[in-house]
Structure 1
Amino acid sequence: MKMLVDMLPAIAFFAAYLLSDIYTATIVLVASLFLVVLIYRFGYGHWHKAHLATAIIAGALGGLTLYVHDPAFIKLKPTVVYAAFSLALLGSHLIGERVLLARIPQQAVQLPDAVWRKVNLAWAIFFAFCAVLNYYVAHNYDEATWVKFKAFGFTALMFVFMIGHAPFLMRYLQPESAKE
């Protein structure tokens, strides 16, 4: 269910773009991102910080898009979000006892510190790559191509990246998690 909630903004953005234009899609995106924040807060009982940060960034850049009537700002949103995630993950190598990903409560997998550092660094590099890739696609392809790539391309990239981790992380699965 959480995966569907997480995908809601991308699906809503794409549908609104198909039915109307980039400005309507921007409004729908911002509204759906804040809706996801509220779903996590009231449905799951906690603030999802990554979704909250994404909603705030989308609100600011989406607001600029609508105010100046220029889609360049909303096209920049994934670049800013992915760059912020990358910097946060990289910064956690320098701040605190554990890297950021190791601080997230884990039930299915327990990794040694050295492995967490490698996984955290891999995600930081992946998000930096996504930031650059979004910037490239947004500035070198037409709007419709960027919308499709934003809605589905990054989801597919993330899925492939996560699957790529599976063989490496399988040996660290907790016994009760492996049985389920």
Structure 2
Amino acid sequence: MTERIIEARPNSPERREINPALKFALELGPLLVFFFANYRGPWLAGHFPALASLGGPIFVATALFMAATVAALAASWALTRTLPIMPLVSGLFVVVFGGLTLWLQNDVFIKMKPTIVNGIFAAILLGGLFLFNRPLLGYVFDQAFKLDDAGWRKLTLRWGVFFVVLAILNEVIWRNFSESFWVSFKVWGTMPITMAFMLFQVPLLKRHAIEEGSRDRQD
């Protein structure tokens, strides 16, 4: 049997389970590395001279963000022998835009990355829903929630719109506020907003939850 590289479709019996808390840690970890490295950039450069050659704190943080992102994807692969779609897409943009940031010594690339990634996620979710009638969000949350098809469609629509809001918000923040404020907001602003948004989806999750034994009947 050929090994699957990308995670299986939502509600598929081929999906390999991973602890939701561990999955969340793998996705949040690189952001925390980015925040810490930007905040403690001079200290890191002083203790690790190789980092000093990268430039200021934002460039040190970018390099470590790239490394942490690749490490998180490698850990996902080691645990499940598959790669999660959304973190994979985001990781590719982190590597590309992070590489451009370091090569050209221009932090605009890494600052625009969330706008472009959120915009692409919105296009993927909304495009998949309206053009192909496929609720693609199930690929992200199927490890944590078991929903019927109607539930995945509604949740996909809401997340698609939410990603549009995040893209606009990132543009407003990085273009109008300081670099340190943008970095802080990227971790301590975006994550609480996202968590609050997720809490508002709890009623929908309860209404459309399915039993574990029924998941193999869902396409």
Given that 2:73 and 2:83 are in contact with CA atoms closer than 8 Å, whether structure 1 keeps it comes out as yes
Question: Compared with structure 1, are the counterparts of its residues 163 and 39 closer, same or farther at alpha carbon in structure 2 (3 Å cutoff)?
Answer: same
Given that 2:38 and 2:61 are in contact with CA atoms closer than 8 Å, whether structure 1 keeps it comes out as yes
Q: For 1:1-180, what aligned pairs fall within 5 Å after superposition?
A: 1-20=22-41, 21-102=57-138, 105=142, 108-113=145-150, 115-174=151-210
| Residue 11 of structure 2: aligned partner | none
Letter in 2 for 1:110: L
**Unmatched 5+ stretches in structure 1:** none
Of all paired residues, the percent bearing the same amino acid is: 30
Given that 2:125 and 2:157 are in contact with CA atoms closer than 8 Å, whether structure 1 keeps it comes out as yes
Question: Compared with structure 1, are the counterparts of its residues 116 and 17 closer, same or farther at alpha carbon in structure 2 (3 Å cutoff)?
Answer: same
Q: CA RMSD for the aligned pairs?
A: 2.0
Match of 1:93, SS?
helix
Q: Deviations over 1:10-60 (max 9, x none)?
A: 110011001110000000111111111111111222111211111111111
Query: TM-score, structure 2 length as denominator?
Result: 0.74
Greater than 4 Å deviation, 4+ residue runs:
102-107
Q: Counterparts of 1:2 and 1:14 in 2: how far apart (Å)?
A: 19
Figure out how many residues of one structure are paired with residues of the other and give that number.
176
Given that 1:34 and 1:52 are in contact with CA atoms closer than 8 Å, whether structure 2 keeps it comes out as no
- Which protein shows a greater Rg? 2
1:6 Cα deviation (Å)? 1.4
1:121 Cα deviation (Å)? 1.1
Match of 2:129, SS?
coil
Bigger helix fraction: 1
Question: Compared with structure 1, are the counterparts of its residues 48 and 102 closer, same or farther at alpha carbon in structure 2 (3 Å cutoff)?
Answer: closer
Q: Deviations over 1:73-119 (max 9, x none)?
A: 10011111111100000111234343212466467432243x43222
Q: Counterparts of 1:53 and 1:107 in 2: how far apart (Å)?
A: 20
